[in-house]
Amino acid sequence: MSSPVLDRESAVPLYAQLDAELRARIADGEWRPNQRIPSENELTKIYGLSRMTTRGVLNTLVAEGLLFRVQGKGTFVAPQRFDAVSPAYQGVREQLEAAGYHTSTVVLSSGIEEASPLVREKLGLPDGATVHAIHRLRSAQDEPLSLHHSYVPASLAPDLGRHDAAGEQLCVILEKHYGLSMKHVVEHLEASAAGTEEAQLLGTRRGRPVLRLEDVISDATGTPFEYSMIVFRGDKIRLGFDYHL
């Protein structure tokens, strides 16, 4: 049976009409995140199209991340993804709130500790140096989005712990109270898999894709004052980079 939504007299190809129809159902909330949609066979019958046409449209939406498939279970609407640029340009929290999303931050732990070999290497610190380590969980629209692990030399911000790292962005605290202003950033981004503890905190499954973003932030003199590792849920955010050469 043909669907009344597709106009066979239109100059717009049927596959393009089906593509627009399925996108509209997702955008309008008729099909909700993680909801199973009709199967390829069902859509073929509903819209009176060939299986090849239906499959091609579904493949496109899966490739774009709007849908995802689960072997033996069907095709589902992908969870909402947030678009953001690198935190080196603007804090993720600031970006999300500017876009109208509700955010919340929980400080998982905060305190002075001896810097690990990795942190010493990133910050150029001597053996035995101490850092203030802050571990936070950030959520958007009440869903866990990212884990933030930040390390600041204790000598540069000795009483950092008295400030509200949940209510105020760390970069703002460091600049306002300690004169540590970001002038240079060395950044590395890689895809990885969520570990057991990360998966639990981020509300996902162990082994699911995550993005790991490492930043070493320095001031105008070239002195590194923060090393951070942010772990993003791979199904929740898309990072953009804009270069002007």
CA angle 79, 82, 87 (to 5 degrees): 145
| pLDDT 10s digits, 161-190 | 999 999 888 999 999 999 999 999 999 999
Predicted pLDDT at 60: 92
Q: What are phi and psi of 150, to 5 degrees?
A: -125, 140
Q: Is the pLDDT of residue 13 over 50?
A: yes
What is the identity of the amino acid at 187? E
Predicted pLDDT at 89: 63
Predicted pLDDT at 90: 65
Percent of the chain with pLDDT over 70: 93
Predicted pLDDT at 88: 63
CA 93 – CA 105 distance, rounded (Å): 9
Q: Is the pLDDT of residue 14 over 80?
A: yes
**Among 79-88, 99-108, 143-152, 234-243, whose mean pLDDT is lowest?**
79-88
Identify which of 104, 94, 91 has the alpha carbon closest to the alpha carbon of residue 144: 104
Mean pLDDT for 196-201 is: 95
> Could you tell me the pLDDT band of residue 235, with boundaries at 50, 70 and 90?
confident
Predicted pLDDT at 80: 72
> Could you tell me the pLDDT band of residue 2, with boundaries at 50, 70 and 90?
very low
| pLDDT 10s digits, 52-91 | 999 999 999 988 778 888 888 999 998 777 766 666 666 7
Q: Is the pLDDT of residue 4 over 60?
A: no
Mean pLDDT for 33-62 is: 92
CA 206 – CA 224 distance, rounded (Å): 33
DSSP character for 138? Answer: E
Q: Is the pLDDT of residue 146 over 50?
A: yes
Q: Is the pLDDT of residue 1 over 50?
A: no
Q: Is the pLDDT of residue 217 over 80?
A: yes
**If phi over 0 gives left and psi between -120 and 50 gives alpha, with beta otherwise, what is residue 112?**
beta
| pLDDT 10s digits, 106-140 | 999 999 999 999 999 999 999 999 999 999 999 98
| Domains in the chain: ranges and CATH | 14-77 (1.10.10.10), 82-240 (3.40.1410.10)
